[in-house]
Amino acid sequence: MFSPKEFIEESLKEIKATVKDAKVISACSGGVDSTVTTALVHKALGEKVLAVFIDDGLRREGEPEFVLKTLKTLGIKTRYVDAKKEFFAAFKGKTDAEEKRKAFRETFYSTFGRVAKEEKTGFIAQGTIKADVIETVKGIKSQHNVLEQIGISPEKYGYKILEPLKELFKPDVRKVGRELGLPKEVSERMPFPGPALSLRVLGEVTPERVAIVRKATVIVEEETKELGTFQNFAVLHNDMATGIKNGNRLYGNIITVRIVDSEDAVAATARRVPYEKLMKIAQRITTEIPSAVRCLYDITDKPPSTIEFE
Ligand code: XMP
């Protein structure tokens, strides 16, 4: 049986022994894994930890504010880095899923390389968990936060990486979060991928296309709050479809809604959501988003699908 208490004790010892007196920056996107990691290294090293939130322009509505507020409540020193321009420049012209993931990864690590240099530190903590490592090593997809396990040395970016959660699956990460006394909005948060909405914009990732999926995400999250599912989200397709708006033909956007149950993200089932609920979501998406003419519901389990589309 996993004991979060023992895990925390062991981790604190290990982190202290690795880092000694150095300063550490902790990459915090606000998700469960990176926030638990940040709280853990902060418990081990106190004031020597600086949480860094990189604004890549791909976060959900209100997310940067939420993350900064949460870290402040936890008493952790935080730096906000605006890297929106760099990320959108890296995505320019890229439509292939793996190429986009690699563009995200490269920009993520090089931005941290710059911040590490500015902050004069050689250590970055990040929230990699076991499922990230397994899927990347198996070649299913290149999770943005897996490097050493696939033979890329983080030293090329100028720092060493601490991954205190890399042997844990999501349910145990939540247990650690609870044991650390994190607020429920953090430990029980719906999982959200590091590359954020870039995985949910099929085709080229531009600020305009991210804005569409961001709006659809708000609608899906509002309408599915009470379902208690593992992940609920919207995806913007690259294809277009014919529709009718205000009595005129509109060649517009297609949005898919995905709502899944899962324990640890390794397997998942599509939730049998009542039709009325789906109709309401479709109605809101096609009325509140001017360019949206079609809304689909994904009924595929993982496997054969994955949870995200990319
Ligand atoms: P898939 O799509 O592989 O997703 O079935 C499994 C879980 O991982 C999340 N996910 C990611 N998280 N970086 C992350 O930090 C990634 O590149 C990434 N890809 C997928 C996904 O949201 C789900 O919870």
Quote the pTM value. Answer: 0.90
Q: Is the pLDDT of residue 16 over 90?
A: yes
> Ligand 1, residues 199, 230, 232: which to mutate, most atoms within 8 A of Cβ?
199
Write down the pLDDT at residue 143: 64
The 10s digit of each residue's pLDDT in 247-296 is 999 999 999 999 999 998 889 999 999 999 999 999 999 999 999 999 99
Q: Of ligand 1's atoms, which has the minimum distance to the CA of residue 262?
A: 24
Q: To test the ligand 1 pocket, which listed residue (130, 142, 143, 150) has its Cβ within 8 A of the most ligand atoms?
A: 143
- For 68-74, the CB contacts below 8 A with 24+ separation are 70/30, 70/35, 70/183, 70/185, 70/186, 71/28, 71/38, 73/183, 74/39, 74/42, 74/182
pLDDT tier at 150, thresholds 50, 70, 90:
low
How many Å lie between the centroid of ligand 1 and the Cα of residue 197? 11
Confidence of residue 155 (pLDDT cuts 50, 70, 90): confident
Of ligand 1's listed atoms, the one at least distance from the Cα of 142 is 17
- Contact of 24 with 166, CB cutoff 8 Å: no
In the chain, the percentage of residues whose pLDDT exceeds 70 is 93
Position 133 scores a pLDDT of 82
Cis peptide preceding 304, ω within 30 of 0: yes
Q: For residue 199, which atom of ligand 1 is closest to its CA?
A: 19
Of the pLDDT bands very low, low, confident and very high (cuts 50, 70, 90), residue 145 is low
CA dihedral sign of residues 76, 21, 31, 254: positive
pLDDT in tens, 93-138: 999 999 999 999 999 989 988 999 999 998 999 999 998 888 776 6
pLDDT at 194: 87
Confidence of residue 141 (pLDDT cuts 50, 70, 90): low
Q: What is the DSSP string of the chain?
A: ---HHHHHHHHHHHHHHHHTT--EEEE--SSHHHHHHHHHHHHHHGGGEEEEEEE-S-SPTTHHHHHHHHHHHTT--EEEEE-HHHHHHHHTT--SHHHHHHHHHHHHHHHHHHHHHHTT-SEEE----HHHHHHHHTTS---TT--GGGT--GGGGT-EEE-TTTT--HHHHHHHHHHTT--HHHHTPPP--TTGGGGGB-S---HHHHHHHHHHHHHHHHHHGGG--SEEEEEEEEEEEEEEETTEEEEEEEEEEEEEE-SSSSSBEE----HHHHHHHHHHHHHHSTTEEEEEE----BTTS-SS--
| Average pLDDT value over all residues in the chain | 93
Closest CA to 123 of 35, 193, 70, 50: 50
Q: Whose CA is nearest to atom 9 of ligand 1?
A: 193
The predicted pLDDT at position 159 comes to 79
Contact 281, 220 (CB under 8 A): yes
Give the residue with greater pLDDT, 161 vs 285: 285
159 versus 123: the higher-pLDDT residue is 123
Q: Please tell me the distance between residue 245's alpha carbon and the centre of ligand 1 in angstroms.
A: 35
Query: Which is the closest atom of ligand 1 to the Cα of 135?
Result: 3
From 259, 308, 309, 310, mutation site for ligand 1 pocket: most ligand atoms within 8 A of C-beta: 308
Residue whose CA lies nearest to ligand 1 atom number 22: 193
User: At residue 206, does pLDDT exceed 70?
Assistant: yes
Pocket lining for ligand 1, CB < 6 angstroms: 101, 132, 135, 141, 143-145, 191, 193-195, 199, 231, 265, 302, 306-308
> Of ligand 1's atoms, which has the minimum distance to the CA of residue 309?
2
Q: Whose CA is nearest to atom 12 of ligand 1?
A: 193
The number of the ligand 1 atom at minimal distance from the alpha carbon of 193 is: 12
For ligand 1, atom 3, the nearest C-alpha belongs to 306
Q: Which of 205, 307, 309, 310 to mutate to test the pocket of ligand 1 (most atoms within 8 A of CB)?
A: 307
Q: Which long-range contacts (CB under 8 A, 24 or more apart) does 261-266 make?
A: 261/229, 261/230, 262/230, 262/231, 262/302, 262/307, 263/170, 263/171, 263/230, 264/131, 264/169, 264/170, 264/171, 265/131, 265/170, 265/191, 265/230, 265/307, 266/131, 266/134, 266/169
